[in-house]
Structures are given as structure tokens and as C-alpha cells.
Structure 1
């Protein structure tokens, strides 16, 4: 009997900015990760457009085990990317009070890293991603086009990004005391990175956000590049440029007994060969 072969995974969990991250027309950050990790890690998109951290609390317990149970593969990395919808202004049904949003972020992290959690996964490294800025003028036009009231404010959204950054930094500092490789949390300051480039004149907010809220190609590049920085400098063995691919190079296959060669190597990374 041949065992089912599976790769470990990199799970992307968030709202529409995650759901749309596989859009190749805007150089989606998830698509860029999938390209970088081909034959190394499976990139799994679990983005839910319109969802907030409130819904995330109920979804994560369903998502995390389902990606590990069938084959015992591990989720090596998990992105948590919520806040853009939580920051909606009341009376929007998406609005989550700031304190509640912080509490939800903590609960999501603890679901994965608390030993008392039923979905405890200490080997899963979490990357918390702060929501991006809001470009009010184009988003107001988008709301008008959709027949909605303007539901976001730059200053309010900034407070949610700052709270997310604060939570991420707190957990990151706390986890420095733990054994290396266990219960690690990192945070990407999306707002800060983008606004630094805007204020320096390097970019405009419209280059980062195609409708005032969702990421354009340059915005997707920011998320991808920031994730890659974390991998290169904090987890260098997980830098895809240094990882071995699964399966032998095709010229190294035993053509007389391919079934044996592939069975032995199916779950064992091997040295990459030329692409052709």
C-alpha cells in the first residue's frame, strides 16, 4: 500500500486582502509565496472576504485541524491578517470595538500556542499582519458606487493597525524566552512600511491600494517582501532559496524502477536540479 504524500504547509488566514492574495493580475502576495515555495511548502489560502476577527474566532478551530489530520503534515507558518473590516465605523455590522479586536487577536494566537487549547500547535510560527492604511477619497467613491455610506476613517483605521502592532510585538518579545523554534510570533507593520514610503515620496497611497482599501500590485509586494524578510533573517532554514525541493531531479530518477525511487523520495527533500 502506497502512503499518501503531502507537504507541510504555510496557511494564510484573513479577510478579503488574504482571499484576493492569489490574484496574479495584482501580483498577489499569496501567489508570490506559492511560486517561491513550489515543491517545498503548500500555500493554503483561507481568506474570507468581509470577515472580521469575530468570525475568525469561530473559523480557526475548524481550519487548523482539517489541514493536518488526513496526512499528519504540519502547518509550519500561519498568517493572521484581520483588522481592515474590524475598523469599519459603527453602525456597520462589521465594526468591532478596538478593545474587543485586541482581545480577539490574543485569542487567535492563544488558540494556536496555548498548551490548554484543543488545537495547540507549538511548531506553528505565527505572522501577525497589521491592516494597511485607508485611502479615504477613492474608498468614498467606491462606497458611493456600491450604494453604501462611507464606512472607514483614516485615523480610526490607524488605531487598529497600531493595536495589532502592539499585540504582535508583545507576543514576539514574550516568545524570546521560549525554546527556539517553538511558539514564535512575528508582526508585519503594514501601515508603517507603506506610510514611510508615502511620506518619503517613494510611493503614493494609490499605488499601494487600488480602491482605497484592497491591495494593488505594489501593496502585495510589500506583504510578500516583509514575509520574506522574516523568513530570511529569523528562520533562514525556511528561506525557500535555501530549502531543498521534494522529489529527486528528474534526470536522477531510476527509469527502470521509478516506483521505488519515487516512493523512497516522495516525502524526503532532495537537492534541486536545473529547471529543465
Structure 2
């Protein structure tokens, strides 16, 4: 009998900056993750263009497997483990009122906390203590090209770089607070890291390493250099804090092709389902 082969996942949850992250033309950060994690983790893109943390509150529970006493937090074949989860909202939340996308700052902060708690609070029906969360702060914005984009779309200018900066700082503060709880605290296991997208990108601009147009293709969405930054920061977290998941040393699923029995591959290929992954030879 052939057992089910479970590929655990790296779930990417966010707005258009996540949805567009598979775009190979801009070296999308999710496309880069999919490349390095091939046959190791499934990279699942759950980015929703235009969405804010308000809609995220209703979406995330639909993306996480329910936890019950009967399953004791054990994933089923239909729900393999989500080993990593990125939460990347704020670029739309920081839109200026009366934009429909505007989320008041205090509400945005509360939403971020609620999203993290859905995963790491034992009281949550979607509690998943082994899932490692990477909170990603909104990037800087470049007002001039975004004003042109707004004009082309026939809408008023709806972003302000200084306002977006405040939302990024709020996201960073929340992330640092949860990151400080690493380990067990009051029965709550927190594995949260945060990427200071705004700070890292602006430091590169101020150092003369690149310009905002290299980071952002239209003033808001990421260009190639911006995608490289997100990918590199995610991998830095994985390599330094979760080295067992470093794709450079992590084993692939399934036997290497040279190890297959040419005459009886049906036996060897059961390794995919019944045995640990094998090293590359």
C-alpha cells in the first residue's frame, strides 16, 4: 500500500507585494524561495492584491488547518505542516483616508497581533506552535512615480511616505515584541522574527548602494533589487535561527536518481512516503 507523501510548506501571506512575488521578470522573492527550496518545502503564495490587514483577519483562518484535541496538533495528509509563515501587510493599510484601503494605525497594530495570535496562542482554533512566523514590514514608498501611477489610474494621490514609515515602525515594534518571547512564556510558544524592510532599504539608498527606483518599480511594488532584499533577509533568518531548514544542507524529498533500483523503482520510490529524505550525491 502506498502511503501519502507529505511535503511541508512555506506559506506566504500578504497583499500584492506577495501576490506578485512569483514574477521572475522582477526576480520575485517567492520565485527565489521556490528555487532554493525545491523538493524540500512547497512555497505557497497566498498574496491578495489590494487587501489590508482587515481582510487578512478573515482570510488567515481559512488557510490554516484547524486544531482539535483529537488531533493533538498533528497535521493530516490533507494538511501537512506549515513550517514557515510570512505575514506581509501594511502598504495598503497606510493609504490615506478617505481611501477604502486605509486602516487606522491602532487598528493595524491590533490586526497584526491578532494574526500572530491565530498561530501562536494556545487558545486559537488554528494554534500551530511549530510554525515559524516571519513578519515583514512594509517597504518605503517613492512618491513621484506613485503619483504618476495614480494619475494613470484616474485616482487621487493616496500615499504619503512619512505615513507609510509610521506603519512600518509599528510593524517592526510588534515583531520585536513577539520575537522577544522566543521560547515558552506562560504556556505560549513564540517563534516570530521580523524584517525591517523600510530600515534596510533606506539604509541601502542612503549608503548609495541603490536608488528607490531600483527597489520599487512604480513607487510601491518591488523591483528586482527590492525582491532581492526580501529574499536575502528571509534566508538570513532561516540560516541563522533555523539552520536545520537551510536548503543548502537540508535533505531533498525522495531518493537521488543514482540510488534508484532501475529494475524495481516501485520499491525504492516508496522512500518518498515511508522514509526520510535522502542526501544529494
User: Paired residue for 2:157?
Assistant: 150
Match of 1:107 among 109, 114, 136: 114
Measure, in 2, the Cα distance between the counterparts of 1:177 and 1:60: 24
Query: SS state of the match for residue 134, structure 2?
Result: strand
Q: How many Å apart are 1:194 and its aligned residue?
A: 0.3
- Using structure 1 for the length normalisation, give the TM-score: 0.95
C-alpha separation between the residues in 2 aligned to 1:200 and 1:176?
36
Shift of 1:264: 2.6
Q: Which of 268, 272, 279 is matched with 1:271 structurally?
A: 279
Contact kept, 8 Å, 1:4 with 1:71, in 2: the verdict is no
Alignment match of 1:218 (pick from 199, 222, 225): 225
The aligned residue for residue 241 of structure 1 is 248
Q: 1:178 to 1:240 in 2, by over 3 A?
A: farther
Question: Equivalent of 2:144, from 137, 142, 152?
Answer: 137
- Report the count of equivalent residues: 270
**TM-score, normalising length: structure 2:** 0.93
Deviation at 1:177, TM superposition (A): 4.9
1:118, distance to aligned residue in structure 2 (A): 0.3
Structure 2: gaps of 5 or more residues: 67-74
Instruction: Provide, for residues 41-86 of structure 1, a one-character-per-residue CA deviation record: whole Å limited to 9, x for no partner.
Output: 00000000000000000000001128x6543410000000000000
Alignment of 1:24-43 (within 5 A): 24-43=24-43
User: What SS class does the counterpart of residue 237 from structure 1 fall into?
Assistant: helix
1:128 aligns with 2:135: yes
Q: 3-state SS of the aligned residue for 2:10?
A: strand
Give the superposed CA RMSD. Answer: 1.4
* 1:47–1:72 Cα change, 3 Å: closer
Q: Is 1:10–1:43's contact at 8 Å kept on the other side of the alignment? A: yes
Determine if the alignment matches structure 1 residue 262 to structure 2 residue 269. Answer: yes
Q: CA deviation at 1:136?
A: 0.2
Q: Is 2:262 the counterpart of 1:251?
A: no
Q: Does 1:173 align with 2:175?
A: no
SS state at 1:269 partner: coil
TM superposition outliers: structure 1 runs of 4+ over 6 Å: none
Question: Which residue of structure 1 aligns with residue 57 of structure 2?
Answer: 57
* Shift in Å, 1:183: 2.7
- Partner of 2:269, secondary structure, is helix
How far did 1:176 drift?
A: 4.5
Q: Deviations over 1:7-65 (max 9, x none)?
A: 11000000000000000000000000000000000000000000000000000000112
Report SS of the residue matched to 1:73. Answer: coil
Q: Distance in 1 between matches of 2:4 and 2:154?
A: 49
Residue 125 of structure 1 contacts residue 185 of structure 1 at CA under 8 Å; is this kept in 2? yes
